[in-house]
Structures are given as C-alpha cells and as structure tokens.
Amino acid sequence: MTIKETRIILLLLVAASAAAQTTMVTGTITDPAGDLLSGSCSIQAVGPFSAATGWRVTGAPMVVPFSGGSFSAALAPTDSATPSGQYYRVTCAVPTQAVSGRTVGPYSWGPRYWLVPTNATALDIGTVEITSPPPSPSWRVLWPQMDQGGATLGQVPQWNGSSWMPSSVSVSGGPGAVTSVFGRSGAVVAQSGDYTTTQVPEGTSLYFTNTRVLSAMSGLYESPLTFSAPLSRAGNTITCAMCGSGGTLNGDVTGASTANTVVALQGRAVAATGPADAQYLGWSAAASRWQPITLPPSSVLSVFGRTGAVNSQTGDYAFSQISGAAAWSQLPADVANATDNLTDMTDRGAALQNLYFQANGPRATNRGARDKMRDFVHVKDFGAVGDGATDDSAAFMAALAAGAKEVRADGGNYVLASVVTIPKGQALYFGAGKHTVAGILFTDSTTDQTGIGKLYCAGSGLATIQLANGANRDLVSQVNFASLTGANSPYGLFRGEINGCTFDANKAGQSGVSYGIRLYGHGLYLHDVTVQNAYSDGIYTEWGVDSSYASPNTDLEGYFTEIRSMFNGSNGWTFRGPHDSTFTNVVLYKNGGWGLRVETSATYNGNGHISNLNTYLNSNPTFALGGHFRFSRQKVPFAFNVGTTRIGENRLGEDLASFLRDRSLACCC
C-alpha cells in the first residue's frame, strides 16, 4: 500500500529559542483511508556541516516520533550550510496499529530528501521534500521565502538574509562594459538583426562602404582607378564600348553584342539547320562543317539477357544485372561446356569441376569445387531452423541425402520428430546445445562389411541428444539390428563411430523397451560418451562368435574409452561382443541392474581387456562375467556393492585382478 501524506494543517509550535536557529518542518501523516497514523521518521544529514547560526550538524541519524498523524521537527537550515550542497535523507515507518477500530499497517516509505531553507515560520513537508537526491551544491527557492511585494521591469530577486526581495541591479561602469562597436564609442543601442557597415565611422583603413568605393574611384584617398579599352570611366560611370547596342562581334561569334550567333567552332563552320530529336552535333567531312547527325541504329540489343536501353556505367557490368537464370554460354570459357544448373549438387556435367579450390600449403593441389563443396554441408543450407521447437527432420534428411562426407548441425538446438538414418560413409555432427530426436540409426549390412557411419558431437557435457517423449525405441541403433541380433552374423555395423556425445534416453518419457545405445557389429569405436536415463540398458553391444570373417584381425575388436553409463533402468552395459574388445576408463554407476554384464553363447561372444573400470552403486552386483576377460594388473581402484552374491563383498579399493585370482573365477587374469 502506498502511504498518502495529507498535509491539512501546519503546526506552528516553534519554540522561541529554536526559531532563531532552526526551521520547523511539520505535517499530518495519514494512510489512503485518511486514518491518522503513529510511527517515526529517521532524519539524517548526508554529511556533517555547520549552520550559519554556528550549530554543528553531524551525520548521525535522528529519530523523530509522530503520534495521531502529527509530525514536527526542528532542523538546522541547509541553504546556509558549510560546506554547501547539504540535504537530509528521511525514511519513515508505521508499525501495525489499531485506528478507529481497524487494524492498519505496517507501512514504510523513503528515502525522501529534504532541502530545508532558513525560515521564521513552520514549513509543510511538501515544501521541503524532493524524491531524488539533489545535485551538489543544492539550492532551491521556496515560495514562502519570496517577498510578496511587487517588482518592476528589470528587477531581479536578491537575498536580504531572510527572504528574496525585488532589487534593481546596475552594471554601469562595471567590469567588461562595452565602450565601442566597429569603432563607434558612446552608448550601444540595442537593435534587431546584425549591425551594418553604415554604423561604422569613416576612416582611412576600411574600404567596404559605398562612400569609400566612390572616393577611391575619384582618387580621394589614392590615385584614381583607371580602365583599359573597351572599358572607360567618366566620373562615377563605367562604360564598355563593345557591350552596348553599337558594338559588333566577329570570329566564331557574329552579330551585335546583345544578340549574337555562333557561326563556327575553332574556325570550322557550324550549319544553321536545327537538329531533330536524339540527333547530335557531329562533323561532316562531305559538307566540311558541324551539323546535326542522326545516331546509327544500335547493334547492342541486350546485355546479359537484359533488353531495352543500354545505360552506360562506370566499371564492368555485373552478374547481378542479369535478369532470370544465367545461360552457361554467358559464363567464362572454362565452365561454358556444361549444361547443368550450378545449384544442382548431383549434376552430370563438369561445370563445378572446372572451378577449382586449392588449399594453402606447399603440397596443395587443385580440387574440383563440386567435390570440395561435398565435403561438408550444414543442415541450415537445407532449411533447418534450430530454434528448439521447429521440426527439422526434413532438412536433416535432405542434407544427408546430398551425399556430403559430413553433415553439420551446430549453431542451434535441433528437434527431429522423425527417425534420421546416417548413410554409409557419412558423418553427422551435433554442436553444443540440447537436441531432441525420435531416434538415430546407422546404416549397416546383412551381406557385407562395407561402409563406415559416424556420429560426432561437440563434447560430452556440451552436446546432449535426448530421446523425445513417447518415442519408445532406442536412442541410437542401426537399420537391421532386429534381424542381426542372436543370428551369429559376421556382418552388421562395421567400424561405426560415436564420439563426444551425451545421450539422455529420457526414461521418464518412455513406456516400453528403449536402450540408450544398441549396436550389432565389430570394429566399433566409442569415445567420450555419456549414456543416462535409459528405460532399459544404457549400452548394449553384440557380435557373432566366428572370427574368421573379419579382415584385418584388428577389426574384431571394439575400442571403448572414456565411457559413462548411469541412472539407467536395467544394466549399465550388456556386453555380448564384439569379442577381444578393450575397455579403458569406464564408469558404470547407479544403474537398475548390473553395472557390467558380460555374456557368451553359441551366437555371441563377450570377452576382452579392461583397464581402469569403475562400477558401483548399481542395484545388482557389480559384475556378471560369463566370458573371458583380461584385467589390468596395475593397481586399479574398484568399488563394489554391499550385499552382492557373485562379485562384490563390499571390498572397496581392492585390486580387481588379485580379487578374481584369489577366488578362482572363470576369467583370465
């Protein structure tokens, strides 16, 4: 509630002793309903100062209570303070209280700022109060200080110690008095407009008045002015013998000086025939004269396909002046042999290949512009918006279909309401931000081991790819996973790569089986990957048991480094291959099943080498090893769950290799 300060009466309760030294400030304090309030105001000078009466005012606040709405305070004047620029800072508060049978408050207001003048009678709060701090020095003329007597023309207010009185001010003879203008002494009379030269007294050094010019011509001051023919002077009159009606002209110009005709240019005759529209004055060798000549028909009918008038301009014509599409015949000779549109990246011609790109370096060679342009494309080139709301699925599909080696999706937060498939040999890159997808598939094969698909991000923790609500499918998988899993196939996803991404599988938004990453294949490469919040497993990988299909042998392995899988509904990682994989710096944390579950059967084979694996606080025991694993013999800290039944026993910090050897478990340590 805003406090309304109603000033109804002035309390003229000024003590005789205070009247000569202070100014009384009074007022009535009410709320908007008119209730008389009780409370207090804190009044504080902004700085110590001395009043004209000799009082010393400190900067400490003074609390002035008021009751029944009546406020009164005696304050040292600020208009005569030393140093100048003083004022009071005032804040007021009203506690909760009963008034006229109603409970009102609490209220508070301020800070307000008071400029208190020297005044013999009490002043209302409204006459001294301002809402913002005044500039320094502070100075204010208040109405009660103005003398009520009338003033006459030219008088100004002058302070007499207690009030402002009309006074006459004389500057006669004072410093800076104007004694002359343009050499004229005596009184300077005000006038409208500028002073003129007629007000300047005559002298021998200034020649710019009519009188002086005439005097100069007659030789009053110096030798009289003389003129050469055809000009002459008689008294104050100058005449031109050839300029009047009697003078005649000759040469290229003939006739009287007041009405002449050009008959030649540089001695060559000019025809008297009048020109027609659009003719020009040109030389006729046959007639031996200058005469009107008609322009020959223009042989230029168009410029770059533009018809109509051909306007001259500075510099060469530009392609921006072409109307419509440019024909290949209008392009430079080295690209004029093609018939395709420049915007068609799948053109059959060699147009773009005849435009070259060369990198900067000693061994750089020319590359066709078309091939260079196909290295990278951006989804915004195909209409993506990236505003976190618009469905950009069509733009992503079009960009991937264009055949570029890498499709970039940075500079925004992208939404894909449809599943997007990464073709063989292509990479999809997501920049920093949060991207929502219905699913991402790698292109795999059930008949060969060709093709590499890549999914890159700006970095785990920088780029997050989240599964859309209700997708109820894997966040990242492959086209033929359903037909490959459990089939002991030597094919699948070959050398698929995932790097630098955080995958949020959004288990709260799913109602069915949904994995974070689920892949079948070999030569898999996962680096700097975080998988979290999957409805099922965070990560699931699988491949067949027969190693004779892979060539080279290194393709048998999976390479998994800097992997984190956590907060998933089932296992952190179910590992059924590819066999002979390496795990380095892997954290499996707080999952709903096992941290790492390794399984082997007649159709899949889970085994490999682990270096620095941390798995803890999972619902099931930390490991379920059904395959053969070689663990690092270095002292690697492992954390085990409490109350486990297979591998566990709450042995924090024990070397896992030693632990497994001691218990003669089916693994190779």
Domain presence at residue 573: yes
Average pLDDT of the chain is 77
pLDDT computed for residue 215 by the predictor: 64
Indicate the pLDDT class of residue 641, thresholds 50, 70 and 90.
Answer: very low
Percent of the chain scoring above 70 in pLDDT: 66
- Whether residue 505 is predicted with pLDDT greater than 60 in this model: the reply is yes
| Domain final position from 89, 105, 140 | 140
Cβ neighbour number for residue 306 with a 10 Å cutoff? 15
pLDDT at 597 over 70: yes
Tell me how far apart the alpha carbons of residues 267 and 351 are, in angstroms, rounded to a whole number. Answer: 60
Lowest mean pLDDT of 150-154, 163-167, 316-320, name the range: 316-320
**What are the pLDDT digits (tens) for 179-206?**
666 556 655 666 777 766 666 665 555 5
Number of domains in the chain: 3
Q: How many CB atoms lie within 10 A of CB 532?
A: 23
Report d(CA 262, CA 251) in Å as an integer.
Answer: 9
The mean-pLDDT minimum among 26-40, 172-186, 271-285, 463-477 falls in 172-186
**513 pLDDT higher than 80:** yes
Instruction: Identify the pLDDT of residue 262.
Output: 85
Nearest partner of 609 among 634, 591, 589, 588, judged by Cα: 634
- What are the CA-CA distances from residue 143 to residues 38, 74, 147, 237 (Å)? 29, 19, 9, 71
- For residue range 399-446, what is the model confidence (pLDDT) as tens digits? 999 988 999 999 999 999 999 999 999 999 999 999 999 999 999 999
The answer to whether position 71 is within a domain reads: yes
Asked whether residue 367 is domain-assigned, the answer is yes
Q: Decide which of 513 and 172 is more confident.
A: 513
pLDDT above 90 coverage of the chain, percent: 35
Residues 451 and 338 in one domain: no
Read off the pTM.
0.47
Predicted confidence at residue 296, as pLDDT, reads 76
> Over the stretch 349-384, which tens digit does the pLDDT of each residue have?
455 555 666 777 788 787 777 777 778 899 999 999
586 pLDDT more than 90 = yes
Q: Any alpha helices (H) in 355-434, and if so which ranges?
A: 369-373, 393-401
Mean of the pLDDT values across residues 569-582? 92
Q: Is the pLDDT assigned to residue 20 strictly greater than 80?
A: no
Domain stop point among 140, 161, 180: 140
Choose between 604 and 223: higher pLDDT: 604
Query: Do both 525 and 442 map to the same domain?
Result: yes
pLDDT in the model for residue 309: 62
What CATH code is carried by the domain that includes residue 126? 2.60.40
d(CA 417, CA 469): 10
**Looking at the structure, do residues 365 and 430 belong to the same domain, yes or no?**
no
Boundary of a domain, candidates 140, 155, 190? 140
What domain range is 501 assigned to? 419-662
Residues 588 and 456 in one domain: yes
C-alpha 659/C-alpha 633 separation (Å) is 11
DSSP E strands, 250-382: 253-256, 259-262, 264-265, 268-269, 280-284, 289-293, 302-303, 306-307, 356-358, 366-368, 376-378
For 578, residues 6+ apart whose C-beta sits below 8 A from its C-beta are 521, 522, 523, 524, 541, 543, 556, 557, 558
| Window from 73-77, 315-319, 485-489, 500-504 with minimum mean pLDDT | 315-319
State whether 576 and 514 are in the same domain.
yes
Convert the pLDDT of each residue in 246-303 to its tens digit.
566 777 777 776 677 888 888 899 998 889 888 889 899 998 999 999 887 666 666 6
Phi-psi region of 238 (alpha: psi -120 to 50; beta: other; left: phi over 0): beta
More confident call, 600 vs 141: 600
* Alpha-carbon distances of 47 from 80, 84, 88, rounded to whole Å: 14, 10, 9
**pLDDT given for residue 136 in this prediction:** 60
The dihedral built from the CA positions of residue 618, 622, 627 and 631, taken in this order, carries a sign that is positive
pLDDT value for 372: 75
**In a shared domain, residues 536 and 629:** yes
Give yes or no for a contact between 453 and 493, defined as CB atoms under 8 angstroms apart.
yes
Whether 30 maps to a domain, the answer reads yes
Query: d(Cα 35, Cα 68) in Å, to the nearest integer?
Result: 9
- Spatial separation of the C-alpha atoms in residues 541 and 565, rounded to whole Å: 13
Main-chain phi, psi angles of 354, to 5 degrees = -85, -5
Residue 231 included in any domain: no
Based on the fold, state whether residues 423 and 363 are members of the same structural domain.
Answer: no
Q: Would 654 be classed as within a structural domain?
A: yes
* Strand 497-504 versus strand 454-457 pairing type: parallel
Q: Token match 């070959």: residue?
A: 494
Residues 460 and 367 in one domain: no
One domain for residues 367 and 482: no
Question: Does 645 lie in the same domain as 523?
Answer: yes
Helices (H) and strands (E) in the chain, counts: 7, 52
The winner for highest mean pLDDT among 58-72, 194-208, 504-518 is: 504-518
Query: Per-residue pLDDT for 651 more than 60?
Result: no
- pLDDT for 464 equals 97
Domain shared by 338 and 433, yes or no: no
> Are both 435 and 523 inside the same structural domain?
yes
Point out which residues pair with 63 in neighbouring strands. Answer: 42
Provide the sign of the torsion angle of the four alpha carbons 18, 20, 25, 28, taken in this order: positive
Over residues 79-108, mean pLDDT: 89
**Residue 523 clears pLDDT 80, i.e. is over it:** yes
> Residue 64, CB half-sphere, CA atoms under 13 Å: how many?
20
Distances (CA, A) of 340 to 193, 325, 350, 355, 368: 76, 12, 9, 14, 15
Answer yes or no: is 220 within a domain.
no
Note whether residue 316 is domain-resident: no
What pairs with residue 522 in β-bridges?
Answer: 494
Confidence class of residue 40 from pLDDT cuts 50, 70 and 90? very high
Spell out the SS3 assignment of 451-499: CCCEEEECCCCCEEEEECCCCCCCCEEECCHHHHCCCCCCCEEECCEEE
